[in-house]
Chain A
Amino acid sequence: MTGAVAMTEEGALLFGSIEQLSERLWRGEISARELAEAHLRQIERIDGEIHAYLTVVAERALAQAEEADRRIARRRQEEGGAVDVRRLEPSERLVGIPWACKDVLCTEGVRTTCGSRMLEHFVPPYSATAVRRLDEAGAVMLGKVNMDEFAMGSSNENSAFGPTRNPWDLARVPGGSSGGSAAAVAAGEAVFSLGSDTGGSVRLPASYCGVVGLKPTYGAVSRYGLVAYASSLDQVGPIARSVRDCAIVFEAIAGPDPMDATSAPGPVPEVLPTLELGVKGVRLGIAPEYFGEGLSAPVREAVLGAVARLEREGATTVEVRMPHLEYALPVYYIISSSEASSNLARYDGVRYGLREPGDDVVAMFSRTRRAGFGDEVKRRIMLGTYALSTGYYDAFYVKAQKVRTLIRRDFEQAFERADVLVTPVSPSVAFRLGERVDDPLRMYLTDIYTLSVNLAGLPAVSVPCGFSPEGLPIGVQIIGPAFAEARVLQVARAVEAAVADQVAHRRPAVAVR
């Protein structure tokens, strides 16, 4: 049998880094079509168990792959046969690279469900800016991946179309809300993916699935076409198997967008040139508030172990305080639910999406919304509607905004003494499916370490730093000041290198068996 050899070659296609694959594509060793087909085969083979994909667009992907092949062929011809891969623009490295898109980003002509019955058959007439930029860069979109309904959740169990499972242990959740994005990348069903992060939705699943997830500074990546959950917190972020891949994708999608008034002006941020600079002299801020009650021992050990390794590489640690961190959870749920109650009001059955007819227009509105939204979405809409109501607005929304300012100030003060903050991503490793669905408060605590970053609008990356005794991945969170993506990725890259002996070689069994 040729299984072993084929597996090796297939494995190289499925688990290669962007740069490895790009080099082979531009050298003509493989075609983008072959690469796309290998991924479609992997999806076919294992996604029944993982359920990362809600929609696979094989035909569209192969057409994009063939276009990528033509682009490469043209360029090879122009340069007389061989393209010097080192001279490629960073975004050109994405030509022919297969990726998966969280189903919360609008994709022209491809249905975009947001994991909700409400939008089960919604086909947007336009693409999100981040998606359009990847299209233009020549990347190959394989399909749309699963998520908690409207990005509300930490386990992917709130998807109307059934949960995604964690590739490392199919009985466990992949984290949420970008669970499909993280699981697909971990399982070799895509080279990278896009997710969205409102309170930890990129970082948590990245941590649970053993991949790298970047939540950029608020405004660094355009939100145009990202279906809104909480507008002042939402950010689009890349998920990949290495920090370097994450950095490449970030550069491709970041930068100002005239369609998003909250996108930051200025040039596209560069993060690749400083990626390998290491951590010599870098001050790592450790806040005891992130290491207190509730943090599980394996996570604590892995995170502090990573810190120790960085110290050996020349980093120093400094203790910083985050006195208002304990309020992050209530503040987050008041602000995000308030915004969500308004953002999700448009799903009324009039123009698109689900419609449940009623005797009059008000009946149609209520019946549609009753049938179209799941429990968690309804819970947050009610919470937000209440918080914004006359008589409660000052006590909840206004107060929450004030505390949000205090949390932001905590970070500012911390960054006067530290270059980055190093924290756990989540108190524990991936939990079992069904374990927390009946206890919303406990579910909300899953995001306790990530929420504050969104409240402050800061960049943060989740990077694998070890495994628990039962073999589940653990992530460490590197938080930086606004627009310091280069710095957090540089430190994350150092973590990746420092723990490579423990982490780099491991793959989920389901993906390689």
Chain B
Amino acid sequence: MQDRPTLAESRSAREGLPPGWEVVIGLEIHVELATRSKVFCGCSTEFGAPPNTHVCPVCLGLPGSLPVLNEKAVEYAVRAGLALNCRVAELAKFDRKNYFYPDLPKAYQISQYDRPLCADGWLDVEVDGRTRRVGIIRVHLEEETGKLVHSTATIVGSRYSLVDYNRCGVPLIEIVTRPDMRTPEEARLFLEELRRVMLYLGISDVKMEEGSLRCDANVSLRRPGEQRLGTKTEVKNLNTFKAVERALRYEAWRQAAILEEGGVIRQETRAWDESSGTTILMRTKETVEDYRYFPEPDLPPVQLDPSWVDAIRRSLPELPAARRRRLEETYKLPAYDASVLCEHPALADFFEDVARRTGDPKAASNWVMSEVLRLLRAMGMEPADLAGRETWAAYLSEVLDLVRAGTVTATVGKEVLEESLRTGQPPSAIVRARGLEQVGDESQLVQWVRQAIAANPDAVASYRSGKEQAAGFLVGQVMKLSRGKANPKVVGELVRKELGPPGQG
């Protein structure tokens, strides 16, 4: 009965939260670290290679093989911990988490149990203009498992499964938060902010679609004012930011429905099912596996030299929150602009480069947010690809200068920017070669205006009947005739001069 959503639940699941309940959410987030080699062997971590080509005796767990810790992975994990305001352990150790599964070649995962690399931190997240602080319990380092490929889309009904061990041994950090979030939206915003922090640190691709960022959520309900936590359920299979929010909202309603009928919540693990928009029972507490953790005898404990940790702390980049604040203050940008630009560090870098070159931050921001992002999409690129493209910044600032100086119109400017980025030609050269300078010469403009009036009697009639907007249409026609080169302001004046005030004639 617990597993079948009522009509009210499924409808409400998309709308708000169950009234009279406080929703308590904690997250467990896995982030794959973008080290070049795996955490315990020298194999490549590259994503998408043919199955079982990035493997060796160590990551395949062949008899007799031994793990050797990749120091870069420790450094990355410590970077993450420091950025999340954690305490870094002076002595950390690894433990074995024992369980049988075909994607786990040693039948144990090397993880960290009671002495994680980092603990006791926090991350602030903006929710509706207010800052919420989410506690971080721990950040620990572990190894990825392999991947099962089933003969059908899911394991159910599969005749056979194949295993790809390429991913096996890719370094992974697990970040566990305190149950400090109170709405599904807050959880999503936290996860998005965490993702940006990881991006800024340069330690992960954090791509949910490729699985380099994964999230499980613990959720429970209690009456407002109640101190004790309710029984939680764990929700897995949250593969998009939207899924995090939807699944948690669904789960809140599901639990509320049970509690309001006088039922009790069972501690259990549930999977989010995107197609039905519900969570499905995976396993109950009674069937929880005993992982029989014990210290990994193949790896000596890790001594973390405080001066090494300090050096990492000093090398941390400006993090997204600080950067948003700085962009707002330094460039007098609206909060919205700052948040869009700070979505990716390379995008913010690019903006700052353009802003410095042109001296017009708001224009730079507008163009980066609209034109640059559009062109990236059109060219099949991502904000990350802006890194190191100083020429592009130079070209955009040149376009902005041309527009501001009135040499070209904004419309032409956009066209020139696109061509410039695609061909590598400087904007001024394109403008010169194609004769795209803005036309301000009145005799030429009057000629186009008269042409437009002659060709569009309906619009003229409409203008004369009092519809002011018809003038805008005619200006557009003139811009078309001029192939964007006409000065739209002058054209507007000329149209009105030719036709007289609207509603007359």
Contact = CB atoms under 8 A, between A and B. Distances in A.
Contacts of A351: 60-61, 105, 163
Interface stretch (A180-188, A313-321, A339-347, A459-467): A339-347
A114 B66 CA distance: 17
Nearest to A104: B64
A262 B300 contact: yes
Nearest to A345: B107
B102 A348 contact: yes
A224 B65 contact: yes
Contacts, number: 101
B98 A342 contact: yes
Interface in A224-248: 224-228, 230-232
A338 B290 contact: no
B98 A348 contact: no
B69 A261 contact: yes
B292 interface: yes
A346 B297 contact: no
B297 A231 contact: yes
B298 to A, nearest CB: 5
Contacts of A106: 62-64
A345 B106 contact: yes
B57 interface: yes
B292 A361 contact: no
A224 B297 contact: no
Contacts of A341: 98, 292
B446 interface: no
A57 interface: no
B68 interface: yes
A393 B64 contact: no
Given A342-B98, A365-B100, A388-B294, A223 B66 contact: yes
The prevalent SS among residues of A at the interface is loop
B348 to A, nearest CB: 40
Contacts of A114: 63
Contact of A124 (B62, B102, B300): B62
A341 B68 CA distance: 21
Contact of A122 (B63, B68, B293): B63
Contact of A112 (B63, B292, B299): B63
Contacts of B96: 342
A228 B64 contact: yes
B59 to A, nearest CB: 12
B473 interface: no
Interface residues of A, number: 43
A228 B107 CA distance: 14
A232 B66 CA distance: 12
Contacts of A112: 63-64
A350 B102 CA distance: 6
B331 interface: no
Residue of A125, A232, A258, A350 with most chain B CB atoms under a 10 A cut-off: A350
A405 interface: no
Interface string A252-280: 00000011111000000000000000000
A36 B479 CA distance: 95
Contact of A128 (B64, B68, B298): B64
B359 interface: no
Contacts of B60: 351
B241 interface: no
A134 interface: no
B108 interface: yes
Nearest to B291: A390
A232 B297 contact: yes
Contacts of A385: 292
Contacts of B68: 258-261
A345 B100 contact: yes
B248 to A, nearest CB: 29
Contacts of B69: 261
Interface string A10-29: 00000000000000000000
B230 interface: no
A125 B62 contact: yes
Contact of B290 (A342, A362, A390): A390
B67 interface: yes
Interface in B50-94: 57, 60-69
Contacts of B108: 342, 345
Residue of B163, B294, B300 with most chain A CB atoms under a 10 A cut-off: B294
Contacts of B64: 105-106, 112, 124, 128, 223-228
Interface string A394-426: 000100000000000000000000000000000
17 contacts: A106-B62, A225-B64, A227-B63, A231-B298, A232-B297, A259-B68, A339-B294, A342-B108, A345-B98, A346-B63, A351-B60, A351-B163, A365-B100, A388-B98, A388-B294, A389-B292, A393-B292
Interface of B: 57, 60-69, 96, 98, 100, 102, 105-108, 161, 163, 290, 292-294, 297-300
Given A342-B98, A389-B290, 18 more contacts: A106-B62, A112-B63, A114-B63, A119-B63, A124-B57, A225-B65, A226-B64, A259-B66, A261-B67, A261-B68, A261-B300, A342-B96, A346-B61, A351-B60, A388-B294, A390-B290, A393-B292, A393-B294
Interface of A: 105-106, 112, 114, 119, 122, 124-126, 128, 223-228, 230-232, 258-262, 338-339, 341-342, 345-346, 348, 350-352, 361-362, 365, 385, 388-390, 393, 397
